[in-house]
Structure 1
């Protein structure tokens, strides 16, 4: 019986991802990129990832490293799941084609290296606030802002769990 934890190679280092993107673009594939922490995967994440996948043929997901999550100031207990676990969960999703963990505070280095056709962000962002928007748009790409699914956030889930312990 096949080990269910074994999934196809979807978690990339930057040089591997650059090569894969070159191949996908050569094949005429439209590349979509989104990023986030994805600490406790919830309905809002699934909605946002599904919408991002609809924007292209290939969906690449950038995942904040543990160190970058701590620098974001999300709290001393975050991330709850380590970067490799978060990347594996995302790579297991059928709508995700590639995952890359980035250690910088933003995915700017990844975005400028791969120049996706579309950057997709969820939330209250404006296009001009999205990291890499200028470089992608100058390359003929675009930026899409997804709606937030109200009531779903890892921060609120963690707060609810902590209040249950009291």
Structure 2
């Protein structure tokens, strides 16, 4: 499982400064692709780990991956809160929502399994989801008629930083950093 996250730092080091990954592939609307990359470019702050509160979970598509991710995230946050209580009220709910949204997007918009990686840092939690698609998220305008578009908007609003990196297998990992 570590191999999926190898580009973000070795197992004993925190993530390093990384730019948003933009896939260089032919698309019908390359302008939308470059716009998405510009919109979500972020600077990643380097933080030291507090301890080894880490979760790596593979999520097969056949076993209710979003519910599995939510349950695993809830258990992770319970362990994290025992070590250090969140600094902000609502942090637990925000991390749960972002993890569920990133996994739901991976299941909806890609093929194959995805993987969830959670890590407690000094003042934040990293929520990372890896999938097999190299295509970056395509933000869309949220719809009031219930057809979607809210997931990436919520992830962006609740996260301090977002980074997208390629995986060695040709997919991508999306990491959202949230206050803890």
Q: TM-score, normalising length from structure 2?
A: 0.25
In terms of fraction of residues, the more strand-rich structure is 2
